[in-house]
């Protein structure tokens, strides 16, 4: 800017929220502007109502007395204030200043060698290990072949919400996304300051409207795993039993196993997929995080 002004308020999160509510008219927010108003834009109580938080909580945010807003609250505020992608990114940045992020460094997640060796020995069963934020930490050859149509094999949520391949691969992508978001919400509730979770929620909130909508919901439980029906570009439709096992030696990690009914067309499809695609996919695989 040629006037030397900063593109965002310099007073932190509180000033940012105040400036954004002052520029949003009641009519634009779907409210009735009845009677004379003493403030420009929205009042604090109106933003609180639109966001689904209490007035006292929102007031503390503007006053700088609330220092730990959850990603879900930030998403609700962004929706209430009708923030664009750039402003939303700034909202998440201001709510997670670098000084506080350094207090909780990201944990390095590694898969134990014996577990990696175990899943790699399963030639007929796709299997992989995910971390607490659903990052893919280890995969076997058949899992690589199964997900070969995805641009990257890095994080379950990023694959579900950001990769166009998900819409063709999953026969019921909505259920898969609901489950993944509910699982991440449980993780966020137990570790609200975890840098990896905050980073992932911030990225997905900016890049995916569907994620923002689902993240704003309140999931009381994680939907159970069941039969996963998918479509693979090489072998067609597959019906796979989806099992998730907690890795007790490393809290937060899960072993995911996808099994076809013995003798079924899906079992035949997996066998064909393994024989046709495994060498090529294994050669192209990116190193697992932490290797």
Q: How far apart, in whole angstroms, are the C-alpha atoms of residue 234 and residue 231?
A: 9
Structural domains present in the chain = 12-95 (1.10.260.40), 113-284 (3.30.450.180)
Segment of 48-52, 133-137, 181-185, 221-225 carrying the highest mean pLDDT: 133-137
Q: How far apart, in whole angstroms, are the C-alpha atoms of residue 64 and residue 220?
A: 30
List the single range of 167-176, 219-228, 232-241, 262-271 with lowest mean pLDDT.
Answer: 219-228
What mean pLDDT comes out for the span 207-228? 81
State the pLDDT at residue 265: 96
Q: How far apart, in whole angstroms, are the C-alpha atoms of residue 139 and residue 226?
A: 20
State the pLDDT at residue 9: 41
Asked if 243 and 226 touch (Cβ cutoff 8 Å), the reply is: no
What mean pLDDT comes out for the span 176-205? 85
Over residues 223-257, the pLDDT tens digits come to: 777 788 999 999 999 999 999 999 999 989 999 99
Over residues 16-49, the pLDDT tens digits come to: 999 999 999 888 888 876 666 777 789 888 898 8
Half-sphere exposure of 63 (CA within 13 A, CB side): 9
What mean pLDDT comes out for the span 127-139? 96
Using DSSP, state whether 228 is helix, strand or coil.
strand
């Amino acid at each position: 800017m040629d006037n030397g002004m900063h593109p965002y308020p310099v007073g932190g999160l509180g000033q940012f929220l105040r400036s954004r509510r002052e520029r949003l008219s009641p009519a634009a927010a779907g409210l009735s502007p009845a009677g004379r108003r003493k403030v420009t834009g929205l009042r604090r109580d109106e933003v609180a109502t639109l966001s689904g938080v209490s007035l006292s909580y929102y007031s503390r945010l503007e006053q700088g007395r609330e220092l730990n807003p959850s990603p879900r609250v930030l998403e609700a505020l962004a929706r209430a204030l009708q923030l664009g992608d750039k402003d939303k990114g700034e909202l998440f940045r201001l709510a997670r200043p670098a000084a506080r992020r350094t207090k909780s460094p990201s944990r390095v997640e590694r898969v134990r060698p014996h577990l990696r060796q175990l899943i790699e020995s399963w030639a007929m069963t796709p299997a992989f290990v995910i971390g607490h934020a659903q990052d893919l930490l280890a995969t076997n050859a058949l899992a690589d072949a199964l997900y070969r149509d995805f641009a990257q094999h890095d994080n379950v949520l990023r694959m579900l919400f950001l990769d166009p391949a998900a819409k063709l691969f999953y026969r019921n992508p909505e259920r898969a996304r609901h489950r993944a978001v509910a699982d991440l919400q449980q993780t966020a509730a137990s570790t609200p300051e975890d840098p990896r979770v905050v980073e992932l929620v911030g990225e997905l909130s900016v890049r995916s409207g569907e994620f923002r909508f689902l993240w704003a919901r309140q999931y009381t439980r994680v939907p159970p795993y069941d039969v996963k029906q998918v479509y693979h570009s090489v072998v067609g439709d597959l019906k796979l039993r989806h099992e998730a096992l907690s890795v007790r030696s490393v809290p937060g990690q899960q072993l995911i196993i996808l099994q076809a009914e013995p003798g079924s067309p899906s079992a035949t499809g997996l066998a064909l997929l393994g024989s046709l695609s495994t060498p090529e996919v294994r050669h192209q695989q990116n190193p697992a995080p932490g290797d």
